[in-house]
Amino acid sequence: MQHGKYRFIVGFLAAPLAIYILFVIWPFIQSIYYSFTDWSGLSPEFKMVGFANFTRMLDDEVFWKSFQHSVMFVVLLPLVTLTLALFFAFMLNVGGRRRKNAVIAGVRGSSFYKVVYFFPQVLSIAIVALLFQFAYNPNSGAINSALKAVGSALRWLGFDVEMVQPNWLGDPDLALWCVFAVLVWCSVGFFVVLFSAGMASIPKDYYEAALLDGANRITTFFRITLPLLWDTVQSGWAYMGILALGAESFAVVQIMTVGPSGGGPDYSTTILPLYVYQKAFRDGQAAYATTIGVALLIVTLLFVAVVMRLGRRERLEY
Amino acid sequence: MKTTDTPPADATPDERPPVTKTTAVPGPLEKPSEGRTLNFFSHGMLILWAFMVVMPLLWAVMTSFKTDRDIFSSPWALPDSLHFENWSRAWTEANMSDYFLNTLIVVGFSLVGTMLLGSMAAYVLARFEFPGNRFIYFLFIGGMSFPIILALVPLFYVMQNLSLLNTLPGLILVYIAYSLPFTVFFMTAFFRTLPTSVAEAAFVDGASHTRTFFQVMLPMAKPGLISISIFNFLGQWNQYLLPTVLNTDEDRKVLTQGLVQLAVSQGYKGDWSGLFAGLVMAMLPVLAAYIIFQRQVVAGLTAGALK
């Protein structure tokens, strides 16, 4: 196998590596370098300014708001999404009524649920964001008009109620949660399917043994399903956190929220990737944008480190 | 890989016992009342979520057939008649046809490029020992967890200097570059699982390394290639961030940014029905493809996470 081996290796690696380095690695290295300059992006001239961008960032109120929101996303989004997904997957696989010949069974129609839950995963995040922007519309959106319909139905039944008509994306207290809900909406299905596949590979004998010992469903979940699924949950956690800090969150906030290229009202929905984008491509402060980008990189790496650390458990072989 | 082959537990309980046959557990072990409330609750939650997933999509389809006046006055009512003119207006006047064409060109070339370059690199990294192998492998893998937006600021100017900014070939190259980390990661793992003896036999018979790769190894890797192609296709078709930054020329916009642009401009014109028609137009082909190729799509998208 030696003949012409190195020529072959170089021949096969050259093109992919060249493209990858030119468009991914090189810009990454440059961006860290630029964060120490005063480059505007508009003119080719710039000079080194040391840590000036970083000190400016620490005093920047909008940066801290974005930082706060991003940290909230990276903590809560995986938590909410994975909890919901674990619950649904467990119901689909183990939650059904017990039948003859089967120790455990999923609910009726579980394959139908899996197909439907997966829908959002194949749609573009941009389409989903646009769709919900209209659904949240306070006057004629799907949500408020559904609320109104429920209200009039209740009044017709004799209840004296006035249904709330929130301003959703226009309300600084609600806007961020509206965005959050959309991200949960489009991610849960993927994890339901992923966890279902994992649960299906857990040997049925374990459930049988637990049932013979008199365990109920909740105990079964915490003592058998979750520990044996832990590896998948951990990688799902990392994946979801990176999504919360990455392109998906950016798209949802940029498209859905108000203000010049998103983040409003009153910076209540701004997040780190959006702020990087705005500084670089709206305000012409490329160097400062890369500084915020470096902060985002640090948050991402810290998150990955925490997941690896907290997620480490003794690997169970089965 | 065959992650979706879970026996569909309940659809046909009689012909196909849902789980590996084990001895039946006698019923009295479970208190019936607990089972019933839990069942009721869990079913309710499952139905509620299915409803929440489907309703927005149905609402969009319904709205795309309404007149603008009806959209505002009665958002949940059925359309009085199917206003197909919304669709034709979106297709021609709102440039949806151009957006579709641009997306097809970009995704077509990027997908082929990604698969070819990705599997070439992965094959070499998986099957050959040479100094720097591990380093190059981790260089590729590292790209999966870095925030892309950080690289995009300098990348914008790199593209400008190469005169690739706002061009479709430029966008294609960038799509390929950003799809490589996961493709290399996945295909390296896949090539490692293939038996070495076949490649060795081909080599002994006088095939060159290149020929062995294209005529022996690639066909053997077909299941992996299909999974990762589906993954990359959806990722590139749905891409929003990269074109938003690097491809802002009006004539070259791809579907996702075209729709966002449409939302802004139609907002001024008040042509909401046209916009919804555009949204549904972009949504339906992907959903239809998913429903037809369900098993492959799910396997493709979940493959990486289960490795």
Note the pLDDT tens digit of each residue in B203-254: 888 888 888 888 888 888 888 898 889 889 988 999 999 998 888 888 888 9
User: CA–CA separation, B125 vs A287, rounded Å?
Assistant: 36
Query: How would residue B262 be classed by pLDDT, with cut points 50, 70 and 90?
Result: confident
- Domain chopping of chain B, boundaries: 31-89, 94-270
pLDDT tens digit sequence for A249-285: 999 999 988 877 777 788 888 999 999 999 888 888 8
In this complex, do B8 and A111 lie within 8 Å of one another by their Cβ atoms?
yes
Does residue B47 register a pLDDT over 70?
A: yes
b/e code A68-87 from CB counts within 10 Å (16+ = b): ebbbebbeebbebbbebbbb
Task: Please give the pLDDT value at position B34.
Answer: 53
The percent of chain B in helix, strand and coil, each rounded to the nearest 5, is 75, 0, 25
CA distance B184 to B179: 9
Q: How many helices (H) and strands (E) does chain B have?
A: 15, 0
**With 70 as the cut, is the pLDDT of residue B68 above it?**
yes
Q: Of B27, B180, B263, which is closest to A130 when you measure between CB atoms?
A: B263
Give CA–CA dist B189/B156, Å, rounded: 33
pLDDT in the model for residue A64: 93
d(CA A132, CA B60): 10
Domain ranges for chain A, please list them: 60-310
| Shortest CA distance from A244: residue in chain B | B147
Angle between helices B294-306 and B168-193 (to 10 degrees): 70
Assigned token pair, A206: 């374990």
Place B35 in a pLDDT band, splitting at 50, 70 and 90.
Answer: low
Q: Report chain A's terminal Cα–Cα distance, integer Å.
A: 38
Q: What is the dihedral of CA B134, B136, B139, B144, to 10 degrees?
A: -80
**Which of B8, B22, B146 lies closest to A204 in CB terms?**
B22
CB-CB under 8 Å, A9 with B152: no
Count of A-B CB contacts under 8 Å = 325
Tell me the Ramachandran region of residue B16: left when phi exceeds 0, alpha when psi lies from -120 to 50, beta otherwise.
Answer: beta
Q: How far is CA A292 from the centre of its chain?
A: 20
Do A20 and B34 make contact, defined as CB atoms within 8 angstroms? no
Residue B230 · residue B296 · CB < 8 Å: yes
Q: Do A200 and B121 touch (CB under 8 A)?
A: no
- pTM for this predicted structure: 0.86
Q: Which residues pair with A37 in a beta bridge?
A: A48
List of chain A residues with pLDDT < 50? 1
Question: B129 burial class (0-12, 13-18, 19+ CB within 10 angstroms)?
Answer: exposed
DSSP class per residue in B94-117: T-HHHHHHHHHHHHHHHHHHHHHH
Look up residue B1 and give its two tokens: 């890989």
Residue B28 sits at the vertex; the CA angle it makes with B22 and B29, to the nearest 5 degrees, is 65
Q: Let me know: does A249 contact A231? Beta carbons within 8 Å.
A: no
Please tell me the distance from the alpha carbon of residue A178 to that of residue B93, in angstroms, as a whole number. Answer: 32
What residue in A sits closest to B157 (Cα-Cα)? A41
The CATH class given to the A60-310 domain equals mainly alpha
Indicate the residue of B6, B148, B213 with minimum beta-carbon distance to A200.
B6
The answer to whether B81 and A143 have CB atoms below 8 angstroms apart is no
Residues B149, A1: C-beta atoms closer than 8 Å: no
**ipTM value for the complex:** 0.87
Chain A partners within 8 Å of B244 (Cβ): 254
Please name the CATH architecture into which domain B94-270 falls: Orthogonal Bundle (1.10)
Distance CA B43, CA B52 (A): 14
Q: Compute the distance between CA of residue B110 and CA of residue B236 in angstroms, rounded to an integer.
A: 8
Residues of chain B contacting residue A281, judged by C-beta atoms under 8 Å apart: 156, 245
Amino acid at A159: F
| Disruptive mutation site among B76, B157, B240, B256 for chain A (greatest number of A CBs within 10 Å) | B240
Contact assignment for A246 to B130 by CB distance below 8 Å: no
| Mean pLDDT calculated for residue range B158-180 | 91
